Amino acid sequence: MASIYSSINTFAKNIVDLDPENLAKARSSRKWLVGKIEDFPTTDESFPKIYTAENDVQMGSFSRRTKIRPIDDIDFIVVFNAEGTTYSTSIFDGKISMNVPETATRLKALTNDDNTLNSIKLLNKLKSSLKDVPQYDQADIKRNKEAVTLKLKSYTWNFDIVPAFLTKPESDGRSYYLIPDGYGNWKKTDPRVDAARATRINQKRDGKVLRYIRLIKYWHRRPIMSNIGSYLLENLVLNYFDNNDVSVTDQFTLRNIFFYLSTNIYYSCPDPKGIQGDLNTLDQDTKNKFSAAASLACTYADNAINYSINDNHKAAHDEWRKVFGGEFPEYE
């Protein structure tokens, strides 16, 4: 007969965490794709040069190891060589424009009439070049706001390929990646900050944090849930573990996280990158519904703890199935 403690481990390993074989395939396919993109400037004289010293910057939950099954998308940044291009930020609307010099002939072909680099034109150039790869001629390739999305029939996942330029260190000593804003201009991001923060807090709690993030993401994905966005959710859980240690068992830790989420969804959640401001821009109704769902999960977890203390593992399993759904193991 399985105890509730072993069942949570089994659930996390076999249902929530990425399958190791698929993970290896995904990493291999991404590496192959990056290699093809790095060949584009050699085979096409009009394709902008790649900044190979800093290329293939991984971003998103896949790179931070917080993605759950199934692998649906893999995000990464392709860094281009700026070739002397400079950027400026409008004092009126904050829009970032990139000013291309005459010497950067490949980038020059993708500019507006005022010599500013058009991010949509660069995305379209990347999109058309991907279609010329024989292995991708039957693929579904689309441009969205800030990336080119490549969907291959042979995989369950998409690639979201984000073109970017790396800035020189600024007055605060930081450098940024300039990526498309979806309207032809550019915006700042820095996935290195997110990755470093997740690693720091995970190591601070003996490498146990990422597993809990994945479990909470699975709970959040249930259809009864009010979706608050994966990135906000991840940062809320990281905020919890930055100030709280892991409890004695999974049950206690998960209960405490649910309680934290039910209350802290009402507070601001500053962007750790210092770029986006408050990540929590949810309307009041969404906050209320999410808080209610987290509170209910906290109650179920509390019930499960009490049942397991009294060695009623069947009842504890039933409570956790209310939290995570029918994929959570039944008591055997």
Give the global pTM: 0.95
Instruction: Please give the CATH topology (third level) of the domain spanning 19-189.
Output: Beta Polymerase; domain 2 (3.30.460)
Q: Which residues of the chain have pLDDT under 70?
A: 1, 137
DSSP secondary structure string, 259-279? HHHHHHTTS--B-TTSSSSBS
Q: Where are the domains of the chain?
A: 19-189, 194-324
* Residue 142 backbone dihedrals phi, psi, to 5 degrees: -130, 155
Nearest to 219 by CA among 295, 303, 283: 295
Tokens 């089994």 identify what position? 10
115-165 per-position pLDDT tens digit:
999 999 999 999 999 998 888 867 899 998 899 999 988 888 999 999 999
Nearest to 157 by CA among 75, 248, 275, 261: 75
Burial of 1 (0-12, 13-18, 19+ CB in 10 A): exposed
